[in-house]
Structure 1
Amino acid sequence: MTTRMRSEIGEQPTALRATLDALLPRVDEVRRLGDQTRQLLFIARGTSDNAAVYGRYLTEARTGRLATLAAPSIATTYRRKLDLDGVLAVALSQSGRTEEIVETLTWAADCGARTVAITNGGPESPLAQAADLALCTEAGEEKAVPATKTYTTALAALAVLALGLGADVEPADLQRVPDAVEKLIHDPGDLDAVVEGLAGKPGVVVSGRGMAFSTALELALKLKEACYMHAMGLSYADLLHGPIAVVDADTPAILVAAGEGPTLPGTIALAERVTGAGAAAYGVGGGTGLAAVSTASLNGPDLPEWVAPLGLIVPGQLLTEALARRLGIDPDAPRGLKKVTQTD
């Protein structure tokens, strides 16, 4: 029996094409709003917060604008007013109905920010209604609790946002993403080997850096949600500052990297260090260089670094779904979770 999660993973090429068709014509709208601002503030929780990490790296590395992640509790719990003049506040919510995120975006506007919503909830959702500009993704209804297609389409919307903010990238790269994702769905790499390598382990460290850091965080979250693993998502720079001590024969590492870019050599070196210490290192992406020094590896997308995260997460999603089934867990309905989470 095919799980909902697996079916929705397979729907991502179609969802990405529809989202790009809807949002790429709106680059000029983003540009006009962005011209009124100097820096960005990303507002999100959970999976959307991992997407926001990609938005932050992409914005700073490719547009030259300072970008930060918001602490919603400043607005909703401490109720502190800040000077957000010149700020573009970007709120992400798959449903567009998470009250804390809607409230924080409204607070940002009251503090002087211009506002953007990224949501799969449609233009009538509370978040879209609260924003100056709503970039609504076209993932369709997502029934499985672990987010898959709503995550990758949110990344696509962030890539469109970056184009509107003047990113020094090739816009045509985005059009290659759906085909690259489709290829990964059909050929994810050594999936069975990685599943078996993780099946008896209580925990795992998932690490990447730069653009790929968001993928490491999201894969760690998925393994927690759907497989009940103690999965730690870390930048490899932070991992090397101490937590690498937990990597051993019982705690393998999953290392994530684009097939090009300045963080790839460091990821390869980390894989060599992990395996040299007697632990397993499972590569995700990183081309032949990372695969050659990994215990087993999953394929990455044939995409430039700036859009690679849209594909890098896909083999991780497939890994999560397959590992959950291997462990006897229903990945569609993890314990204790709902599709829409409300926080105070």
Structure 2
Amino acid sequence: MTTKMRSEIAEQPTALRATLDSLLPKIDEIRAMGEQTRQLLFIARGTSDNAAVYGRYLVEAHAGRLSALAAPSIATTYRRKLDLDGVLAVAISQSGRTEEIVETLAWAKDCGARTVGVTNGGEDSPLAQAADIALCTVAGEEKAVPATKTYTTQLAALAVLAIGLGADVDAGELRRVPEAVEKLIAEPGDIEAVVEGLADKQGVVVSGRGLAFSTALETALKLKEACYLHAMGLSYADLLHGPIAVVDADTPALLVAAEHSPTLQGTIALAERVVAAGAAAYTIGGGGALAQAGTAALNGPDLPEWLAPMGLIVPGQLLTEALARRLGIDPDAPRGLNKVTQTD
């Protein structure tokens, strides 16, 4: 029986094409708003927060704009008004109905920010209605609780946003993403070896750096949600500052890198260190060099680093779905979770 999660993973190339067709015409509108702002504030929770991490690295590395992740409780709990003049507030919500995110975007506007909403909830969703510009993804209904196609289309929307804000990238390369994702779905690498390696483990450390850090965080979240693993998502720089002590024969590492990235050599060195310490180092992406340094390898996309996270997450999604089934867990409906989460 094919799970809903597995079916929705397979729908990602179509969802990405539809989203790009819908959002690329908005670049001029984004550019006009970008001229009125200097820096960005990303507002999100959960999977959408991991998308925001990608947005932050992308905008800072390629558009030269200072960016930050918001603490929504400043708006909703502390109710503190800040000076957000010159700020572009970008709220991200799969449903567009998470009250905390909608309220925080409204707060940002009241504080002087210009606003963008990224959502799969459509133009009529509360988030889209609250934003100056709505970037509505076209992923279709997502029935499995773990987000897959809504996440990758959020990344696509943030790539379009970065282009509108003047990122020094080739916008035409975006059109390569759906095909790269299709290839990864067909050829993800040695999924079975990694599933077997994690099946009797209670925890795993998932690590990447730079633009791949968002993938490490999202992969760790998926393994927590659907496989009930104690999965720790960390930048490898933070991992080396102490938490690497938890990596041992009972706690393997899952290391993520784009093949064309200034962080690749550091990731390779980390894989070699983990293996030398007697632990397993499973890898995602990074080409043959990272695969050779690790214990078993999942493939990465043939994409430039700024787009690679849209592909790097796919083997992690497939791994999560396969591991959940191996553990006797229904990945479509993990315990304690709902599709839309409301927070105070």
- Normalising by structure 2, what TM-score? 1.00
Q: How does 1:1-344 map to 2 (within 5 A)?
A: 1-344=1-344
Secondary structure at 1:265's aligned position in 2? Answer: helix
Shift of 1:284: 0.2
- In structure 1, C-alpha distance between the alignment counterparts of 2:25 and 2:178, rounded to whole Å: 17
2: CA distance between counterparts of 1:34 and 1:93? 21
Alignment partners' CA distance in 1, 2:326 and 2:86: 50
Q: Displacement, 1:20?
A: 0.3
Secondary structure class of the residue paired with 1:322: helix
Q: Distance in 1 between matches of 2:107 and 2:223?
A: 33
Distance 2:216 2:79 in 1: 32
How many residues were matched structurally?
Answer: 344
Flag as ranges the 4+ runs of structure 1 deviating above 6 A.
none
Distance 2:163 2:7 in 1: 30
In 2, the alpha carbon distance for the partners of 1:197 and 1:279 equals 11
Q: Give the drift of 1:172.
A: 1.2
Shift of 1:223: 0.2
1:80-128 CA deviation, whole Å, 9 max, x = no partner?
Answer: 0000000000000000000000000000000000000000000000000
SS at match of 2:82: coil
Distance 1:179 1:148 in 2: 17
Write the deviation string for residues 189-223 of structure 1: whole angstroms up to 9, x where unpaired. 00000000000000000000000000000000000
For 1:246 and 1:119, the matched residues in 2 are separated by 37
Equivalent-residue separation in structure 2 for 1:260 and 1:251 (angstroms): 28
In 1, Cα distance between equivalents of 2:251 and 2:310: 27
For 2:89, what is the secondary structure of its paired residue? strand
Whole-angstrom distance in 1 between the partners of 2:313 and 2:199: 20
SS at 1:324 equivalent? helix
Counterpart CA distance in 2 for 1:321 and 1:70 is 31
| 1-structure distance, mates of 2:19, 2:64 | 25
Deviation at 1:233, TM superposition (A): 0.1
Q: CA deviation at 1:263?
A: 0.3
Q: Which runs of 5+ in 1 are unaligned?
A: none
Q: TM-score, normalised by structure 1?
A: 1.00
1:122 counterpart SS class: coil
Q: Please state how far the C-alpha of 1:334 moved relative to its aligned partner.
A: 0.2
Amino acid at match of 1:243: P
SS, match of residue 142 in structure 1? coil
Question: What is the letter of the counterpart of residue 269 of structure 2?
Answer: A
Q: Which moved more, 1:100-109 or 1:168-177?
A: 168-177
Output the CA distance in 2 between the equivalents of 1:119 and 1:322. Answer: 28
The CA distance in 2 between the partners of 1:268 and 1:244, in whole Å, is 15
Residue identity opposite 2:143 in structure 1:
K
Partner Cα distance (1:147, 1:261) in 2: 26
SS of equivalent residue, structure 1 residue 328:
coil
In the TM superposition, residue 261 of structure 1 has moved relative to its aligned partner by 1.2
CA offsets 1:263-315 (integer angstroms, 9 cap, x no match): 00000000000000000000000000100111000000000000000000000
In 2, Cα distance between equivalents of 1:284 and 1:199? 18
Residues 119-172 of structure 1: CA deviation (Å, up to 9, x unaligned) = 000000000000000000000000000000000000000000000000000111
Q: Distance in 1 between matches of 2:205 and 2:232?
A: 5
Once the two structures are aligned, what percentage of the paired residues are identical?
83
In the alignment, the residues of structure 1 paired with residue 33 and residue 152 of structure 2 have an alpha-carbon distance, to the nearest angstrom, of 24
RMSD between aligned alpha carbons? 0.3
Determine the C-alpha separation between the residues in 1 that align with 2:17 and 2:237.
34
